[in-house]
Amino acid sequence: MRKFWIAAGALALCTSASAQVPQDIAAKIAAAGQSMDPAAFEPLYATYFGPEAWTGIRIERDIAYGSDPLQKLDVYTSEQHPRGAPVVLFVHGGGFTRGDKHGRYQPDNMTLWAARQGMVGVNINYRLAPGAPWPAGAQDLASAIAWTRANIARYGGDPDRIIVWGHSAGANHVADYVGHSELHGPEFAGVQGAILLSPNYPVAAQAGQPNAYYGADRSLNSIDATVERLRASGVPLFLGDAEFDPEMMLATSRGLREGLCTDAATCPRYVHLKDHNHFTEGWAVGTDDQSLTGPLMQWISDSLGERG
C-alpha cells in the first residue's frame, strides 16, 4: 500500500481530546432525526463562519480546469502555511444533480479548515447529471487532480501529496475515481489518501427508474463492485457516517466496512459521528466540534506516516 508522507511540522495536528457536538445543537438534530432538509440545520452553524473566520485566508476562485462552465475550482491557502504542504481536494455532494463548491459555509468550510491546518484546500465543481451521466463526475475529478498536480506548487502545495475528500454523492465520485483504474492517468500518482463521508451505494438491486448518474448498470452502482475496486486500488481510506444519516448511507458504510475489512491492509479508518446528521457532519468542520476532524487529523498523522 502506498504511503502518504507528511513533512514534520507541516500540520497543526489535534493533540487534545476532540470536542463534541454542543448540547443545544445535538438536541435539535436528534429531534429532527434523519431529516434531509438542509434549511433546518444551516442556521445552527452560520454563526461559526462570520467574517473573522476567514482572516488570513487567501482564496482564488473559479479557476478553469476544463472547457465546461462547471469545470472550475477554488484554491484556499493560509498566510502562515508552509511550502510543500499537503493538499486536500474536496468534492461536494448533491445527489449527482445539484450542489456547488461555493456557499455561505459548507463546502467552503472544508477547504477553509484545510488551509487553517497548514494544508492547501482545493474545492471543485463538476458536470452534473442527468446532462452529464457516468463517468463524467469521475472524469472531472481526474481532470481537477491533474490541474492540481500541475499547478499547486505555486500555491505552496505538494503535487505528490493530495488527499481527495468527498461528501455524499461527492464521496461516490471519489470512490469511483479511486476504484476505476481505467480512469487513472499520470495524476493518480499524486493521490495518497481518500476520505469518504457518507457515500451511497445500494446494498441490493432496486426496482424503479435507473439512477440519474449511473443509469441501470449495477456494476457501477453497487457496494460489492465498489469494494472490489477499492481493495485493488491500494489507496488508504477514511470512512465516516453520521448517527442520523439516512439508512441507505448507513447501510453503505456497513457494507464497505464489511467488505474492505476482511483484510487489515484495506480496512478504512472509520468514525461514526454521534449526534450528527447528513448535513451537520460536514458543517461542523472548522468549529470547536472535532468529532470528525480530530480522528481525521490523527489518520493523516498516524495511519499515513510522518517523514522523520
Q: What is the pLDDT of residues 241-265, one digit of tens each?
A: 999 999 999 999 999 999 999 999 9
Model pLDDT, residue 42:
85
Q: What pairs with residue 191 in β-bridges? A: 162
In the chain, domain spans: 23-303
pTM above 0.85, yes or no: yes
Model pLDDT, residue 137:
98
What is the per-residue pLDDT across 204-232, written as a single tens digit (0 to 9) for each?
Answer: 655 567 899 999 998 999 999 999 999 99
Q: Are 76 and 59 within 8 A, CB to CB?
A: yes
User: Per-residue confidence at 83, pLDDT binned at 50, 70, 90?
Assistant: confident
Distance (Å, rounded) from C-alpha 85 to C-alpha 102? 23
Sign of CA dihedral 41, 43, 45, 46: positive
Distance (Å, rounded) from C-alpha 12 to C-alpha 258? 32
Q: Are 191 and 236 within 8 A, CB to CB?
A: no
Distance (Å, rounded) from C-alpha 128 to C-alpha 194? 21
Residue 266 to residues 29, 35, 95, 270, 291, Cα–Cα distance (Å): 33, 32, 27, 12, 23
Lowest mean pLDDT among 7-21, 68-82, 130-144, 201-215: 7-21
Which grid cell is 289? 466540534
Backbone angles phi, psi at 87, to 5 degrees: -120, 135
Q: Which CATH code fits 23-303?
A: 3.40.50.1820
Sign of CA dihedral 41, 105, 94, 294: negative
For the stretch 258-283, what's the b/e string if a residue is b when 16 or more beta carbons lie within 10 angstroms of its beta carbon? ebbeeeeebbbbbbebebbbbbbbbb
- Of residues 105 and 99, more confidence is placed in 99
Distance (Å, rounded) from C-alpha 288 to C-alpha 105? 15
Answer yes or no: is pLDDT of 192 > 70. yes
Answer yes or no: is pLDDT of 13 > 60. no
Q: Which of 197, 181, 207 is nearest to 252 (CA)?
A: 197
Average pLDDT over residues 143-159: 97
Answer yes or no: is pLDDT of 9 > 90. no
Distance (Å, rounded) from C-alpha 10 to C-alpha 4? 13
Model pLDDT, residue 91:
98
Average pLDDT over residues 265-288: 96
Q: Are 42 and 283 within 8 A, CB to CB?
A: yes
Does the N-terminal peptide bond of residue 236 adopt cis geometry, omega within 30 degrees of 0? no
- Of residues 79 and 90, more confidence is placed in 90
At which residue does the C-alpha cell 489507496 appear? Answer: 235
Q: What pairs with residue 239 in β-bridges? A: 196, 270
What is the per-residue pLDDT across 110-149, written as a single tens digit (0 to 9) for each?
Answer: 999 999 999 999 999 999 999 999 999 999 999 999 999 9
